[in-house]
Copies of this chain bind each other. A is one copy, B any other.
């Protein structure tokens, strides 16, 4: 005869198919020596046999259950239906795959009119005993005897009404005892038989109900949807109930094996003596810190410590445990991996390596990169109560508080005095840079994740919230108004208005704008985190570089472990306030000579920048992108000019303009003409990138000269400078060829003049689809590719990021049209296809081609995983995300190895 029953002591985790997931888990816990309440599992084979035989128990099953019960009674020292020490059990279904459609759990099976009294006596808690019985009848009546739940609920409501109870917990013992009688009446009336008083009858009925639930309608639908075979069958788990409320030597608790807030290797949690789990949750009694258990329940506490060590060793991670102590004996009811803060995750992983519990690879694999972002930026104290007045786009992480200022000059002035300010503007322009530098953070009512404010703030690692459209900013009145409707979930109290100097806080990680000053927590980059990052470096294949536009950025990036600069944007250098007039002269120049005159002035400035960056990155490559944005970004705003012109013209209609006014009007008109001539319908797809370099070669030539002159100077000083010249926005090899030739010529001229020589490379961004589609051609001349996946995503999707994020992308994600924001997580199916095509074609032409990514995806863990799989050589990201990228790159390697093993 087949063996249909397995005690928990007989199985293990591998016997999932026979014992179901739950049964195998209970067996495994028992096997490793945990004090699991004893019990047994009726196998899935019994269930299959049950169906083969037309829904009848297979031969011998009843005998086996009876034998198993005898054994269970022996182990527990309790007896089924015993009037003094009754054995109560839980009955649970347990299929191979977890299946919500099936019967789940019946607790307290074994209770009847007699044993309920024994429980009342043993726990000295009749209310508890009758509540258990009441719940048992209700559950059993519903799932086993097919009495509709509604019937019991009506009776329960009636009982509460009668005694004026608001909650179930307000019902006294007597009322519950009366309710039990009423429930039994319901069962008798509906099921046309009395509620079974024989525990064994209860048990067999429950087993049959579990078997039947395998083929109820919900379960069948669930299997069909999830493609689970219909013939697997379910197991049935029968387990002793344990009670923590049988006296002062009993108790219950919920603990973590380590501190989930900071990772301290101490038990952490709470317990109560003489109580059941519900009591801890209900909050009627105040739970005590778990360390006090050493005195209150010394023996059980010793067991608990041993259990915790055992669990951590077995599950190789910090555990979150529910336990009960029944008459001094510890039972672990449930254990699972414990949730923890970022800081704790790092500390625990680090400690566990030291304790020999996990390997370095496991430690690296266990840190959630997105979670540790918090450790790298100042953040809002999670405990603080916030008055959120508005929500915008989280443009640059970190939190800051300060006085509201509406003007960059004022920001600079107050900043110099040491005051903390938040710059609040409809949008920022290059004219505001000095104000952004001086401010703690930036808040704008317009713009998307790639607007000026967002890019500049991210580069500086400064908190920034943009596109906060519910704010009404009145620059003239120096006021900003927020409507309560705009704040999501905050405790805002109707429309509010702020004036200059009022305190405000922003959280650039969430996009929240908060009234007043909020408590902040400082970033944490401890030795443990550094050690783990070091291990990650040993594992990863991908290089990690940083996007850095200034020597300071570059130094920062080195400290975070960047192995080079993957993207140095030269335009931000142009935007510095003292350079802007020269840049503007260059742009509005009519002749090439005029343009060259302005460029000559810019040359030494750029050269200085490059020297600083190349020196800070000594020995590592610095990839310098030649000028990329449309020229009109450096000019004044057309609308502002138009307003000034209209104002003066209107005044001129009413009275005679003064000579100064007339002159001003002419000046504005002239400038507006120039701005208009450069203005574009779709600047993102306009006159920018290498298109500037083709039409005005002298601009790129100046930049190349500055780069090579800087490198020559450093070489002469013995500094190992490694410049890489990157041509942006190439879509056709013919765009690249002349610009590369120009760069080679200028390099030769400068090296010859300086009498030094050094290695450098010339490569291109791959950021428009055509570049990816013709990458094989482009690689004939380009020595490296750097995927600009921001622009590549914009062009591949036909999305303008600034417009999409403000207008329809939210709806797209809500309606699940797109699974993610493709600007945050690289779209593997579309954009990724182009990346793979380009890598393959590029390497086919030039096997040694260096390939990386410098879009914002370079700092996103899932995108980094894709970069690893696509065979890229490196990723480049904001300096502040370099640690994240190092970790994610290592995890990508680990995932790759695991996938290779699974093959």
| A contact residues vs B (CB 8 Å cutoff) | 448, 469, 638-639, 642-643, 646-647, 649-651, 654-655, 677, 680-687, 691, 694-695, 729, 731-732, 734-735, 738, 767-770, 773-774, 777, 791, 794-800, 802-804, 807-808, 811-812, 815-818, 827, 829-831, 833-834
What is the CB-to-nearest-CB distance from A707 to chain B, in angstroms, rounded to a whole number? 23
B791 touches A798 (CB 8 A): yes
A469 to chain B: which residues have CB within 8 Å? 677
B791 touches A770 (CB 8 A): no
Contact of A654 among B654, B732, B773, B798 (CB under 8 A): B654
A680 touches B639 (CB 8 A): no
Complex CA–CA separation, A811 to B734 (angstroms): 13
Chosen A-B contacts, 29 in total, with CB atoms closer than 8 Å, are: A642-B643, A646-B647, A646-B650, A647-B649, A651-B654, A680-B807, A681-B683, A681-B803, A682-B800, A682-B802, A683-B800, A684-B685, A685-B795, A685-B798, A685-B799, A685-B804, A686-B803, A686-B804, A687-B804, A738-B815, A767-B798, A769-B796, A770-B797, A773-B796, A774-B829, A777-B829, A791-B798, A795-B795, A795-B796
Contact of A650 among B651, B695, B831 (CB under 8 A): B651
B773 touches A685 (CB 8 A): no
A770 touches B686 (CB 8 A): no
Contact of A815 among B646, B694, B818 (CB under 8 A): B694
A680 touches B803 (CB 8 A): yes
Q: How many copies does the complex hold?
A: 2
B694 touches A812 (CB 8 A): yes
B685 touches A685 (CB 8 A): yes
A729 to chain B: which residues have CB within 8 Å? 798
> Given contacts A643-B646, A654-B651, A732-B817, is CB(A830)–CB(B797) below 8 Å?
no
Complex CA–CA separation, A691 to B796 (angstroms): 15
A830 touches B773 (CB 8 A): yes
Q: Which residue of B lies closest to A639 (CB)?
A: B642
Known pairs A654-B655, A694-B811 / 10 extra A-B pairs, C-beta < 8 Å: A642-B646, A684-B798, A691-B812, A694-B817, A731-B797, A732-B817, A767-B798, A770-B830, A770-B831, A774-B829
Complex CA–CA separation, A893 to B203 (angstroms): 81
What is the CB-to-nearest-CB distance from A438 to chain B, in angstroms, rounded to a whole number? 27
A682 to chain B: which residues have CB within 8 Å? 682-685, 800, 802-803
B768 touches A807 (CB 8 A): no
What is the CB-to-nearest-CB distance from A327 to chain B, in angstroms, rounded to a whole number? 59
Q: Which residue of B lies closest to A809 (CB)?
A: B691
Complex CA–CA separation, A566 to B346 (angstroms): 61
Residue of A649, A734, A796 ringed by the most chain B CB atoms within 10 A: A796
Residue of A638, A769, A795 ringed by the most chain B CB atoms within 10 A: A769
Q: Which residue of B lies closest to A731 (CB)?
A: B797
A643 to chain B: which residues have CB within 8 Å? 642, 646
A791 to chain B: which residues have CB within 8 Å? 798
Contact of A769 among B651, B734, B834 (CB under 8 A): B834
A735 touches B687 (CB 8 A): no
Q: Which residue of B lies closest to A777 (CB)?
A: B829
Complex CA–CA separation, A718 to B699 (angstroms): 68
A687 touches B732 (CB 8 A): no
A649 to chain B: which residues have CB within 8 Å? 647
Complex CA–CA separation, A818 to B774 (angstroms): 14
A817 to chain B: which residues have CB within 8 Å? 694, 732, 734-735, 738
Residue of A682, A684, A791, A833 ringed by the most chain B CB atoms within 10 A: A682
A812 to chain B: which residues have CB within 8 Å? 691, 694
A683 to chain B: which residues have CB within 8 Å? 681-682, 800, 803
A833 to chain B: which residues have CB within 8 Å? 773-774
> Given contacts A773-B833, A834-B773, is CB(A686)–CB(B796) below 8 Å?
no
B770 touches A796 (CB 8 A): yes
Q: Which residue of B lies closest to A730 (CB)?
A: B798
What is the CB-to-nearest-CB distance from A385 to chain B, in angstroms, rounded to a whole number? 33
Complex CA–CA separation, A680 to B802 (angstroms): 8
A796 touches B811 (CB 8 A): no
A654 to chain B: which residues have CB within 8 Å? 651, 654-655
Complex CA–CA separation, A830 to B770 (angstroms): 5
Q: Which residue of B lies closest to A768 (CB)?
A: B798
A798 to chain B: which residues have CB within 8 Å? 684-685, 729, 731, 767-770, 791, 795
Q: Which residue of B lies closest to A647 (CB)?
A: B650
Complex CA–CA separation, A642 to B827 (angstroms): 40
Residue of A691, A767, A770, A833 ringed by the most chain B CB atoms within 10 A: A770
A681 touches B681 (CB 8 A): no
- Closest CB pairs A-B (n = 3): A682-B800, A768-B798, A685-B800
Complex CA–CA separation, A694 to B809 (angstroms): 10
> Given contacts A654-B654, A803-B682, A816-B734, is CB(A808)–CB(B774) below 8 Å?
no
Complex CA–CA separation, A796 to B830 (angstroms): 13
Contact of A803 among B687, B815, B831 (CB under 8 A): B687
A827 to chain B: which residues have CB within 8 Å? 770
A687 touches B808 (CB 8 A): yes
B795 touches A734 (CB 8 A): no
Complex CA–CA separation, A834 to B811 (angstroms): 28
A639 to chain B: which residues have CB within 8 Å? 638-639, 642
Complex CA–CA separation, A68 to B779 (angstroms): 59
B686 touches A800 (CB 8 A): yes
Complex CA–CA separation, A695 to B811 (angstroms): 7
Complex CA–CA separation, A687 to B683 (angstroms): 16
Complex CA–CA separation, A816 to B732 (angstroms): 11
Complex CA–CA separation, A638 to B639 (angstroms): 9
A804 to chain B: which residues have CB within 8 Å? 685-687
A768 touches B796 (CB 8 A): yes
Complex CA–CA separation, A685 to B683 (angstroms): 11
Complex CA–CA separation, A768 to B804 (angstroms): 15
Complex CA–CA separation, A683 to B655 (angstroms): 41
A808 to chain B: which residues have CB within 8 Å? 687, 691, 694-695
Complex CA–CA separation, A859 to B684 (angstroms): 28
Residue of A642, A767, A803, A818 ringed by the most chain B CB atoms within 10 A: A803
What is the CB-to-nearest-CB distance from A483 to chain B, in angstroms, rounded to a whole number? 14
Contact of A687 among B642, B685, B807 (CB under 8 A): B807
Complex CA–CA separation, A800 to B689 (angstroms): 13
> Given contacts A639-B642, A817-B694, is CB(A731)–CB(B685) below 8 Å?
no
Complex CA–CA separation, A685 to B793 (angstroms): 11
Complex CA–CA separation, A649 to B833 (angstroms): 54
A830 touches B686 (CB 8 A): no
A691 to chain B: which residues have CB within 8 Å? 807-808, 812
A685 to chain B: which residues have CB within 8 Å? 682, 684-685, 794-795, 798-800, 803-804
What is the CB-to-nearest-CB distance from A123 to chain B, in angstroms, rounded to a whole number? 56
A795 to chain B: which residues have CB within 8 Å? 685, 769, 795-796, 798
A830 touches B642 (CB 8 A): no
Contact of A830 among B650, B769, B802, B816 (CB under 8 A): B769
What is the CB-to-nearest-CB distance from A506 to chain B, in angstroms, rounded to a whole number? 23
A686 to chain B: which residues have CB within 8 Å? 800, 803-804, 807
A734 to chain B: which residues have CB within 8 Å? 816-818
Complex CA–CA separation, A413 to B768 (angstroms): 48
Complex CA–CA separation, A812 to B731 (angstroms): 12
Q: Which residue of B lies closest to A681 (CB)?
A: B802
A695 to chain B: which residues have CB within 8 Å? 807-808, 811
A818 to chain B: which residues have CB within 8 Å? 732, 734
Q: Which residue of B lies closest to A684 (CB)?
A: B682
What is the CB-to-nearest-CB distance from A730 to chain B, in angstroms, rounded to a whole number? 10
B773 touches A731 (CB 8 A): no
A677 to chain B: which residues have CB within 8 Å? 469
What is the CB-to-nearest-CB distance from A788 to chain B, in angstroms, rounded to a whole number? 10
A767 to chain B: which residues have CB within 8 Å? 798
Complex CA–CA separation, A812 to B768 (angstroms): 17
What is the CB-to-nearest-CB distance from A799 to chain B, in angstroms, rounded to a whole number? 6
A815 to chain B: which residues have CB within 8 Å? 694, 738
A834 to chain B: which residues have CB within 8 Å? 769, 773
What is the CB-to-nearest-CB distance from A417 to chain B, in angstroms, rounded to a whole number? 34
A680 touches B800 (CB 8 A): yes
Complex CA–CA separation, A796 to B767 (angstroms): 10
Complex CA–CA separation, A173 to B816 (angstroms): 94
Residue of A448, A731, A767 ringed by the most chain B CB atoms within 10 A: A731
